[in-house]
């Protein structure tokens, strides 16, 4: 089926899933059930989709590079302390409906070309006080300083951000990276790309 706005629908569904978790947690806690946190990774592109297998094991699934990248992004949420990561391809397909912040350029396992990854913060219409927009803009400034090897400046920006938004996973991660890179400056070949060796 041709669904022209599939990237938008996917991101809306992902945000709805995250929004449903607190109510589910309340119900599960009352029943004594374990709580569940989720990480979501989204990439946009061609995939092979359909029934695969044999007479013994048969199922409907999707396969391909974009499926694999989405899976890697899902796992990277743990590293960045986020819940919803999207690829650059998906980010471009979203237009202006959502507020996103670029987090990194990552070289995932099995690939040589780095990909830009973004955290999807929410629907722009729900950013009533502009907090997500300010977060994205502030982080962009810190990321630019980091990539320019201005680690002191990047750390100062990130520390201000950490005060305004306590517990922000990406800010904490980059503060640690800046601490390490100030102590041991990178060589001339450093391009700021994170090597994601985990699946």
Give the pLDDT confidence of 70-111 residue by residue, as tens digits.
Answer: 999 999 999 999 999 999 999 999 999 999 999 999 988 777
The C-alpha angle 157, 121, 111, rounded to 5 degrees, equals 85
d(CA 7, CA 153): 35
Confidence (pLDDT) at 54: 81
pLDDT tens readout for residues 141-190: 999 999 999 999 999 999 998 888 888 999 999 999 999 999 999 988 88
C-beta separation of 86 from 43 below 8 A: yes
In this prediction the pTM is 0.91
C-beta separation of 77 from 144 below 8 A: no
d(CA 48, CA 64): 6
d(CA 86, CA 88): 7
Confidence (pLDDT) at 1: 77
Confidence (pLDDT) at 162: 86
Residue 124: pLDDT band (50, 70, 90) is: very high
Confidence (pLDDT) at 198: 62
The closest alpha carbon to 179, from 195, 159, 198, belongs to 159
Strand order in the sheet with 84-87: 40-42, 84-87, 115-123, 98-108, 194-196
Taking the mean position of all CA atoms in its chain, how far away is CA 38?
12
What's phi and psi for 116, nearest 5 deg?
A: -80, 135
The closest alpha carbon to 74, from 62, 87, 85, belongs to 85
Q: What six digits make up the tokens of 73?
A: 């992004």
101 Cβ contact list (under 8 Å, min separation 6) = 118, 119, 121, 135, 136, 139, 140, 170
Residue 199: pLDDT band (50, 70, 90) is: low
């Amino acid at each position: 089926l041709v669904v022209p706005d599939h990237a938008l629908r996917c991101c809306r569904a992902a945000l709805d899933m995250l929004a449903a978790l607190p109510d589910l947690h309340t119900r599960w806690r009352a029943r004594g059930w374990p709580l569940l946190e989720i990480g979501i990774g989204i990439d946009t592109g061609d995939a092979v989709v359909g029934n695969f297998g044999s007479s013994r094991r048969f199922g409907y699934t999707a396969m391909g590079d974009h499926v694999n990248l989405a899976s890697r992004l899902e796992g990277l949420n743990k590293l960045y302390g986020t819940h919803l990561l999207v690829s650059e391809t998906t980010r471009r397909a979203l237009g202006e409906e959502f507020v996103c912040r670029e987090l990194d350029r990552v070289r995932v396992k099995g690939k040589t070309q780095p990909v830009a990854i973004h955290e999807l913060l929410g629907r722009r219409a729900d950013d009533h006080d502009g907090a997500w927009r300010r977060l994205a803009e502030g982080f962009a400034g810190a990321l630019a300083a980091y990539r320019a090897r201005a680690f002191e400046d990047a750390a100062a920006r990130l520390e201000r951000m950490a005060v305004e938004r306590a517990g922000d996973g990406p800010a904490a991660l980059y503060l640690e990276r800046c601490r390490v890179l100030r102590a041991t400056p990178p060589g001339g070949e450093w391009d700021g790309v994170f090597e994601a060796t985990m699946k």
